[in-house]
Amino acid sequence: MKVTARSAGQSNTGPVRTYLTMSKKKYVDTSVTDSVLEKLKKAQDEEKSPNAYYKFKAWLHYANLKSWQGQQWHFAYVNYCGEEMRCTCGLAVPIKNKSDMKPEVLEKLGVLNLDLVQKSTGHRQLPTFKGQVAAFIYDYTHVGGLGMYNYHCLCQQCGEYLQGQSSSDAITWCKFHNQVCAS
């Protein structure tokens, strides 16, 4: 079944078209190393002036980013200089851009209130930054007061989405769509 679905996908989008689509994408390095976090933490601890607050904010920004990448959550985490929106995976989309998803998919996902990067294709896999994904986690919600989360995922190829999953179920669902829907 997997082979059939893959072959069907390949006949729709040939390798040349995929390459052209990819070549138009811009990526920035959003990877956060442990040493960067340690450096920022140290700078915060050593800063005794009122600036300590800003050092804390700098550390928090990168600590959050790393945690979101670990959850494999893709969203526009930063608006860069009012020029482009940047995803946690590094995909950078000019603010003037429109969605480049298929119109029928955009319509299916219209109820989800997605941000600009979530409506743009070319996301890199998290947390490895290798390869591209069409299915990913776009949001999550807290469940009760137990520090539990429900994850919501979508597929930019077929327009399906699934809400309220455990982390592992959401990741499995995305893996399936990335194999079957994206060639």
51 versus 67: smaller Cβ distance to Zn ion: 67
C-alpha span between 24 and 47 (Å, rounded):
42
C-alpha span between 85 and 26 (Å, rounded):
11
C-alpha span between 72 and 64 (Å, rounded):
12
55 versus 177: smaller Cβ distance to Zn ion: 177
Binding site for Zn ion (CB under 5 A): 74, 87, 89, 91, 123, 155, 157-158, 177, 181
44 versus 88: smaller Cβ distance to Zn ion: 88
| CB of residue 70 to Zn ion, shortest distance in Å | 14
| 73, HSE (Cβ side, Cα atoms, 13 Å) | 20
Give 152's strand partners: 139
| CB of residue 146 to Zn ion, shortest distance in Å | 28
| CB of residue 61 to Zn ion, shortest distance in Å | 17
Measured in degrees and rounded to the nearest 5, phi and psi for residue 126 equal: -110, 145
66 versus 177: smaller Cβ distance to Zn ion: 177
| CB of residue 53 to Zn ion, shortest distance in Å | 30
In a 3-state reduction of DSSP, which class is residue 98? Answer: coil
